[in-house]
């Protein structure tokens, strides 16, 4: 049993436990006041939800597994309303809790259900994908999608804890694992270049869950996010750097009706942001080239359809980082030196997209 902890500070501090055999931490995170626990899990993961429920039952909780659709199909208002109704039938009170088990979409949904039920109940998240571990489950952001855009409805609701059981990664499909790697690489570009070095030294190993540096890559990515959200939970300033590449990425996901993998979209979005910074005279060519080489080396895309630009540009207008009609992008001024680009000229936006078009 090997475990490490990353502490997330702030008004509601909690730990992210990373390793094997971490389910023993569940009861300690939920506490003694909790009686009823709703285990919200992706319906395709009964074999992973089962030991979670078992650990809770052994600790004496009244456990109720609730399956929800896999992937982004979980993050819909109808699914959320169904959870509320189930919580009501279970008689869940403010001293009860929600445990979310699954990928990023499942933990986003479970977290928002916990945030909105009785104005907020305790939650523990058990992410089972790389993307969930390094991004969605850490930081207290919860939310669902609506037809107009991704994550436009949600709340900041820090969990009582996050358990990253590394053995679950073995069951993740290869392309889904590689998708999650985009968020790891993002952490390297915005804050921790050692991540980039580890990927460059062994890209083939980085792209699989049993690689020699898997644990360190996850720990470093989680630490980057923890450092940021500890000082800025509600995205008042610093936390925006975690959205590097996400402005275009969310537009691509919407254009693809959320059937496009999040990490694949983020990879394209990062290259776009790098080209935007280069054309604005803020980032040297070699850092832009490094984006492409690292992302390509692990099997992530770096380009998208040129014909999609008008639709993508229209969607970016309602990005969460926008203020009024002013677009705001997270860009790099140098490696691990993120900044902001506000209200860029339309010609600059179009020229940067031309660099990622195919």
Choice among 74-83, 128-137, 287-296 with the minimum mean pLDDT: 128-137
- Per-residue pLDDT band for 16 (boundaries 50, 70, 90) equals very high
DSSP summary character for residue 212: T
Mean pLDDT of 326-341: 95
CB 110, CB 128: distance < 8 Å: no
The segment(s) of the chain belonging to CATH 3.40.50.1970 are 3-171
Q: What pLDDT score was predicted for residue 36?
A: 98
CATH number of 3-171: 3.40.50.1970
Predicted TM-score of the model (pTM): 0.91
Tell me: pLDDT of 86 over 70: yes
Q: What percent of the chain has pLDDT over 70?
A: 96
Mean pLDDT of 8-25: 93
C-alpha dihedral sign at 155, 161, 163, 164: positive
More confident residue, 229 or 35: 35
**Distance between CA atoms of 183 and 68, rounded to whole angstroms?**
25
Which among 83, 142, 139 has a CA at the least distance from the CA of 108?
142
Annotated catalytic residue, options 41, 64, 122, 250:
250
- Per-residue pLDDT band for 197 (boundaries 50, 70, 90) equals very high
Annotated catalytic residue, options 122, 141, 157, 186:
141
pLDDT mean across residues, the chain = 93
**Does residue 256 have an active-site annotation?**
no
Query: According to the annotation, is 9 in a ligand binding site?
Result: no
- Per-residue pLDDT band for 231 (boundaries 50, 70, 90) equals confident
Query: According to the annotation, is 291 in a ligand binding site?
Result: no
**Distance between CA atoms of 111 and 80, rounded to whole angstroms?**
11
Query: According to the annotation, is 157 in a ligand binding site?
Result: no
**Does residue 145 have an active-site annotation?**
no
Query: According to the annotation, is 71 in a ligand binding site?
Result: yes
**Does residue 250 have an active-site annotation?**
yes
Mean pLDDT of 270-292: 98
**Does residue 243 have an active-site annotation?**
yes
CATH superfamily of 207-232+243-356: Dehydroquinate synthase-like - alpha domain (1.20.1090.10)
- Per-residue pLDDT band for 324 (boundaries 50, 70, 90) equals low
**Does residue 235 have an active-site annotation?**
yes
DSSP symbols for 164-207:
EEGGGGGGS-HHHHHHHHHHHHHHHHHT-HHHHHHHHH-HHHHT
- Per-residue pLDDT band for 358 (boundaries 50, 70, 90) equals confident
Query: According to the annotation, is 143 in a ligand binding site?
Result: no
**Does residue 119 have an active-site annotation?**
yes
Query: According to the annotation, is 315 in a ligand binding site?
Result: no
The segment(s) of the chain belonging to CATH 1.20.1090.10 are 207-232+243-356
**Does residue 174 have an active-site annotation?**
no
**Does residue 216 have an active-site annotation?**
no
């Amino acid at each position: 049993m090997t475990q490490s902890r990353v502490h997330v500070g702030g008004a509601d501090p909690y730990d992210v436990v990373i390793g094997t055999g971490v389910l023993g931490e569940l009861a300690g995170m939920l506490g003694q006041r909790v009686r009823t626990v709703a285990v919200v899990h992706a319906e395709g993961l009964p074999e992973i939800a089962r030991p979670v429920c078992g650990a809770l039952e052994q600790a004496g909780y009244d456990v109720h597994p609730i399956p929800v659709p896999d992937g982004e199909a979980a993050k819909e208002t109808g699914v959320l309303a169904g959870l509320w109704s189930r919580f009501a039938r279970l008689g869940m009170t403010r001293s009860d809790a929600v445990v979310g088990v699954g990928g990023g979409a499942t933990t986003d949904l479970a977290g928002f259900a916990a945030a909105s039920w009785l104005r907020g109940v305790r939650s523990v998240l058990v992410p089972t994908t790389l993307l969930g571990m390094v991004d969605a489950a850490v930081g207290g952001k919860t939310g669902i999608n609506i037809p107009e855009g991704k994550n436009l409805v949600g709340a900041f609701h820090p969990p009582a804890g996050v358990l990253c059981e590394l053995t679950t990664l073995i069951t993740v499909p290869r392309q889904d694992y590689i998708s999650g790697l985009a968020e790891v690489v993002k952490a390297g570009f915005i804050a921790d270049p050692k991540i980039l070095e580890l990927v460059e030294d062994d890209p083939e190993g980085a792209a699989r869950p049993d690689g020699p540096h898997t644990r360190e890559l996850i720990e470093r990515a989680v630490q980057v996010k923890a450092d940021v959200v500890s000082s800025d939970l509600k995205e008042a300033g610093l936390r925006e750097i975690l959205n590097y590449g996400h402005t275009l990425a969310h537009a691509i996901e919407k254009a693809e009706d959320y059937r496009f993998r999040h990490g694949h979209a983020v990879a394209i979005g990062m290259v776009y942001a790098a080209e935007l910074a280069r054309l604005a005279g803020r980032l040297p060519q070699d850092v832009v080239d490094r984006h492409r080489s690292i992302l390509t080396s692990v099997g992530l895309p770096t380009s998208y359809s040129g014909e999609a630009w008008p639709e993508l540009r229209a969607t970016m207008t309602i990005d969460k980082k926008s203020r009024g009609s002013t677009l705001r992008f997270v860009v790099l001024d140098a490696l691990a030196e993120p900044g902001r680009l506000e209200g860029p000229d339309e010609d600059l936006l179009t020229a940067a997209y031309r660099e990622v078009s195919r």
